[in-house]
Chain A
């Protein structure tokens, strides 16, 4: 916990229960709708399709009928460090134009579209492939009129810039404004959650301040089933996962033979 002006700073984070996650894709849709991500004719080119939170299908690799699929929903991890103890996430420390920043007060890694020059160095730096380049301008052809559903909270992106999950930062702003208007300094746990958290029909996603012992996420990340993606790279992601299944946990990081530790009970 980083002390900041005398009080403990907030560290917003997410816990995704993979045992609950059904791979339905509502988080992806909710995210795209919330953040004005446009849809192009072909979204099957996964190398260029923009999906701030992406579902990765994983398999236990067994033969029919012992096969099982599961899913890793992967938003931006909002890392705290660059893997070497530097207090910038990998992508932030490489950005040439200071277009992406780690907010020390919230732990959110922001992206300024109008500042970005599109060098894509941050994409190379991110091991989670969480950053997306706009290979095209936002696709809202006039004759369709789809721009009518665009939300003014998030500006549509021009081509040639990077975008990524912002933990729905505008929702934090909205909640803060509301709180200030009501004369409060602090916002409640439920007042700021991301669009995917809100949309998840199985409530697999929990969002909150990891530093705040009253928040549910604080409790969940203490569970023995909690883990993070590529934890060994030491980038300190603020997105945690829960799973009781060893084959799922095993796929969250790279392990040399014999290194992976099963949960004591096994599964």
Chain B
């Protein structure tokens, strides 16, 4: 039925099957839509956030997807600036994933603030000292860049491409993509860093506070590193998932392996620095605040296991796995390493957000716990639904993987 607008020379399932497969996404979106209406209409009392848990599930989702979406700018950076040609075969997927992650995060942030209608005050009454302002500016601008990067891919749709002006715009945009890739990379470095900075500058909370360089606490640099270490892995995972579901090979191995190798090196570098940073924190910030390392891991469910999980199991292990060619060349192990890598970074973001707030600073204060409401889950999962939907639509109607035709010749 929709065959005229499908990419040429590739096989797609029937529209009905496609829609049926997407039903769960629509369900998630409906759930999320209801939650969003409730939160916007009645206010944030619909959540279980509180004066203790000022940031909660949504911010964890936000920071997680922004880190995972880092594949877009970093792959763009590698493709256009470093000129790794093989990555052209995966850059479209990376851009789309990036777009999904960033737009989803922005939408979630819009609901997360108490006065969404005044959201633009961040730009209008900007406080340049705030890391969150830096984040907002950079993400806002970068989202525009992502849109600009996404548009030519959309324009490559068979039907759209027939329209001459659109074809021209698309082509010209392609020509100057390097400029946007550079802008995107620059913006992303800063907002990934500022997201880390946001927590590192919480000098009132010794659990998150870090020393640093000039105005940037070490978390600034660690967040950049961790984002670019896990972003490519997430792109790989998404591609692998697409390949698995469609039952086709979509990206040549060399592209995947390049990303995996770079990811591995970056992760190793990151983990080494993270360990140094943790030691510096244990022997610097923590004793100055009058505490010991173990003081932070005594309460509630947040024990030392978190550190072990984050740094060892989901850090050192995937780093080693990705660095060893034999392991990363094995499809299954590559996926395992990728999942561990991404999990580690998500744990890292969770720890900086939720655990930071859960641990009381005043000795006479107590530990609080937090469980999200269905409205919070609804909005969080709606981003997932939205992502799958956009990704699926893109895959179905756009030539996301340039080599798809080549790798899957229809007989």
A residues sitting closer than 8 Å to B (CB atoms) are 45, 47-48, 56, 58, 72, 74, 82-84, 86, 88, 90, 92-99, 115-121, 123-129, 131-137, 158-162, 229-230, 232-235, 250-256, 259
Among B51, B113, B124, B362, max chain A CB count under 10 A is at: B51
Docked CA distance A94–B134 (Å): 11
| Cβ–Cβ < 8 Å partners of A120 in chain B | 49, 54-55, 113-114
- Supply 9 A–B pairs (Cβ within 8 Å), ascending by A: A82-B201, A90-B204, A94-B201, A96-B133, A125-B204, A129-B52, A160-B114, A232-B290, A254-B291
- Compute how far the CA of A71 lies from the CA of B204 in the bound complex, rounded to whole angstroms: 22
Q: Known contacts A94-B201, A161-B114, A254-B290; decide if A115 and B125 are in contact (CB<8 Å).
A: yes
B26 to chain A, nearest CB (A): 30
Q: Total A-B pairs in contact (CB under 8 Å)?
A: 180
Q: Quick one: which of B102-135 are within 8 Å of A by CB?
A: 112-116, 118-119, 121-122, 124-127, 129-133
The reply to whether the CB of B288 lies closer than 8 angstroms to some CB of chain A is yes
**Complex formed: what's the CA distance from A96 to B132 in Å?**
6
- By CB atoms of chain A within 10 A, which of B49, B114, B129, B205 has the most? B114
Residues of A within 8 A of B365 (CB): 56, 129
Residues of A within 8 A of B290 (CB): 232, 253-256, 259
Q: Chain B nearest CB: distance from A177 CB in Å?
A: 27
Return the contact of A128 from the options B116, B287, B289, B362 (Cβ within 8 A): B362
| A149–B112 alpha-carbon span in the complex (Å) | 33
Report Cα–Cα, A92/B133, bound state, in Å: 13
**Which single residue of chain A is at the shortest CB-CB distance from B286?**
A256
Neighbouring A residues of B288 by C-beta, 8 Å: 232
Which residues of A have CB within 8 Å of B136?
A: 96
Which chain B residues have a beta carbon within 8 Å of chain A's beta carbons?
A: 43-45, 49-55, 112-116, 118-119, 121-122, 124-127, 129-133, 136, 198, 201-206, 209, 287-292, 295, 356-357, 361-365, 368
- Asked, given contacts A128-B362, A135-B43, A253-B363, whether A84 binds B203 with beta carbons under 8 Å apart, the answer is yes
Name the one of A117, A234, A253 contacting B121, with C-beta atoms under 8 angstroms.
A117
Nearest CB on B from A162, distance (A): 8
| Minimum CB–CB distance for B226 against chain A, Å | 20
Question: What 10 additional pairs, Cβ within 8 angstroms, besides A47-B368, A94-B201?
Answer: A94-B132, A96-B127, A117-B121, A125-B204, A127-B361, A128-B361, A135-B45, A158-B115, A232-B288, A235-B204
Question: A219 to B115, alpha carbons, bound, how many Å?
Answer: 44
In the assembled complex, the Cα of A253 lies from the Cα of B288 at a distance in Å of 11
Q: Are the CB atoms of A116 and B130 closer together than 8 Å?
A: no
* Leading 4 A-B pairs by shortest Cβ distance: A118-B114, A160-B114, A83-B203, A47-B50
Name the distance in Å between A99's Cβ and chain B's nearest Cβ: 7
Give CA–CA (A118, B364) in the complex, Å: 27
Assembly CA distance A263 to B45 (angstroms): 46
Contact A97 B125, beta carbon cutoff 8 Å: yes
In the complex, how many angstroms separate the beta carbon of B350 from the nearest chain A beta carbon?
14
CA distance A97 to B265 in the complex (A): 39
Q: How close is B371's CB to chain A, nearest CB, in angstroms?
A: 12
A93 to B200, CA, bound (A): 13
Interface centre among B54, B113, B287, B361 (most CB of A within 10 A): B54
Residue contact A117 to B203, C-beta cutoff 8 Å: no
- Complex interface: chain B residues within 8 A of A86 (CB): 129
Choose one: A47, A84, A256; the contact of B51 (CB below 8 Å). Answer: A47
Contact A129 B125 (CB under 8 A): no
B87 to chain A, nearest CB (A): 35
Residue contact A129 to B205, C-beta cutoff 8 Å: no
Q: How far is the CB of A76 from chain B (nearest CB, A)?
A: 13
Instruction: Determine if A124 and B356 form an interchain contact, defined as CB atoms under 8 angstroms apart.
Output: yes
| Chain B residues, Cβ within 8 Å of A121 | 54-55, 130, 132, 198
Which residues on A sit within 8 Å (CB–CB) of B53?
A: 47
A127 near B114: Cβ-Cβ < 8 Å: no
**Are B364 and A125 interface neighbours, CB within 8 A?**
no
Q: Complex: how many Å from CA A252 to CA B290?
A: 11
Which residues in A have their C-beta under 8 angstroms from that of B291? 254, 256
Check A124 against B361 for contact (C-beta < 8 Å): no
Q: Is the CB of A127 within 8 A of B204?
A: yes
| Cα-based distance from A234 to B204 in the complex (angstroms) | 9
Q: What is the distance, in angstroms, from A78's C-beta to the closest C-beta of chain B? A: 14
Given the contacts A47-B52, A160-B115, A233-B204, A252 and B127 also touching, CB distance less than 8 Å: no
Residues of B within 8 A of A128 (CB): 204, 361-362
The residue from A83, A252, A253 contacting B204, defined by CB atoms under 8 A apart: A83
Contact A160 B44 (CB under 8 A): yes
Which of B54, B112, B125, B289 is within 8 Å of A123, CB to CB?
A: B54
Contacts of B116 in A (CB 8 A): 117
Q: Which residues of A contact B361 (CB under 8 A)?
A: 127-128, 230, 233, 254
CA distance A137 to B292 in the complex (A): 41
* Alpha-carbon distance A161/B114, docked complex (angstroms): 6
- Chain A residues whose C-beta falls within 8 Å of the C-beta of B295 in the assembled complex: 254
